[in-house]
Amino acid sequence: MRRLLVVLLVAFLGLPLVAATPPPAFYSKPNVIVFPFISNGSSVDREASSRLATIIASSMANTGLVTVTPPPPGTDRKDYLTVARSNRSEYYVSGFISPLGNGVSIVEQVVSTATGIVVFSQSTQLNTYEEAAGQGDDLAAFVSRHANRGFAAIGTPPPAASPTPAASNGPEANLGKLFSRKKKPAAKPTPTPTAKPIVTAPVPAAAVANVPNPTTPPRAVAPAAAGSYAAVPVGGTADAALRELAEARLAERAHAERVATAAAACSSGHAPHAILAGILTVTPEGTTGGGNAKFELTASDCSGKTLWHQTHGGDATGAQGLQTATERAVDGAIGAYLNPPKRRRR
């Protein structure tokens, strides 16, 4: 009898411990749409940005943490939120892409469709398809944790992400091929005996860390040609994603080389026509989801003499309001510099 009472007591005390552990079914599998990345620069076409988005979307789906819904073809950026909500997606992924050496520089943004607010943003440089697939793993893990953050206090960890797929050997492992324009058929070249696999640099720490503060990708340090413009990194209090957008927009509108410093632009002996620098500040508007952006543009020569200095602003509303306001402010500033008003003859 005493032994039976001990067994019953142990079983009774163990019941709360079993009940306190939530089953894996408590964790939801959020639905995500990955839209094509918006290209910055004439060398990046829509097909290339769509291919990169497809690689990332496939990698996200392979983790099993999220359900990926293909985006409707031809969806405009202003309709991303509406389309994602109509497809019952809790999140959508969008961003910007620009060529950088043999790879690409991208800005990734995860938007919650419940609020229309960017919940995660980061900038990074990709050189291979392996690194692009790795971004899908990281984004899927972040979206899963964000969607199930309400269960974090219970103590059951989310399912682990599947390992990053191995890089393919050969020339297609390099993302620079994304920007190769289609040419007319030519004579077949003589095949090389053996193609060596491309050795890639390790992924920057910020590309795999799920932190809300993005880091700026490495800059291309190439001297600008004579008579051209050079654009240096944009400063200011705006977050890194918006500053990266402003710099890319400035370089695109002025057909400028993006360089790390003014000294790098002037080091080759072929001084650019002007060095373009900017300071970006933004003010979010809580009621509309948009806000105001101010872009202070300074153009100077290699001796440090200021050739132009003006500040222009932009306003926009909606889920992508701050991005649109930034573009308008940059367009106004560079437009005023490149096309100054003509003086009237007296």
Domain termination site, one of 179, 212, 237: 179
Are residue 69 and residue 155 in the same domain, yes or no?
yes
Are residue 264 and residue 174 in the same domain, yes or no?
no
In a domain, 206, yes or no: no
In a domain, 255, yes or no: yes
Are residue 171 and residue 304 in the same domain, yes or no?
no
Are residue 30 and residue 172 in the same domain, yes or no?
yes
> Which string of DSSP letters, residue by residue, matches 44-90?
--HHHHHHHHHHHHHHHHHTSSSEEEPPPTT--GGGHHHHHHHTT-S
Domain termination site, one of 153, 179, 205: 179
Are residue 39 and residue 143 in the same domain, yes or no?
yes
In a domain, 134, yes or no: yes
pLDDT of residue 62: 93
**Higher confidence at residue 65 or residue 344?**
65
**Higher confidence at residue 42 or residue 95?**
95
In a domain, 140, yes or no: yes
Q: How many domains does the chain have?
A: 2
> Helix 321-338 crosses helix 240-254 at what angle (to 10 degrees)?
30
Domain that holds residue 48: 24-179
Residue pLDDT, tens place only, 117-172: 888 888 888 887 778 888 888 899 999 998 888 765 555 455 444 444 444 444 44
In a domain, 10, yes or no: no
- pLDDT bin (cut points 50, 70, 90) of residue 258 is confident
Residue pLDDT, tens place only, 98-129: 877 777 788 889 999 998 888 888 888 888 77
Are residue 147 and residue 229 in the same domain, yes or no?
no
**Domain with 90 in it: what CATH number?**
3.40.50.10070
Are residue 168 and residue 244 in the same domain, yes or no?
no
- Residue 91's CB: how many other CB atoms inside 10 A? 23
pTM reported for the whole predicted model: 0.44
Over residues 191-211, the mean pLDDT reads 44
pLDDT of residue 251: 87
Are residue 140 and residue 237 in the same domain, yes or no?
no
- d(C-alpha 234, C-alpha 277), whole Å: 6
pLDDT of residue 174: 61
In a domain, 105, yes or no: yes
| Residue 293, strand partner residues | 282, 314
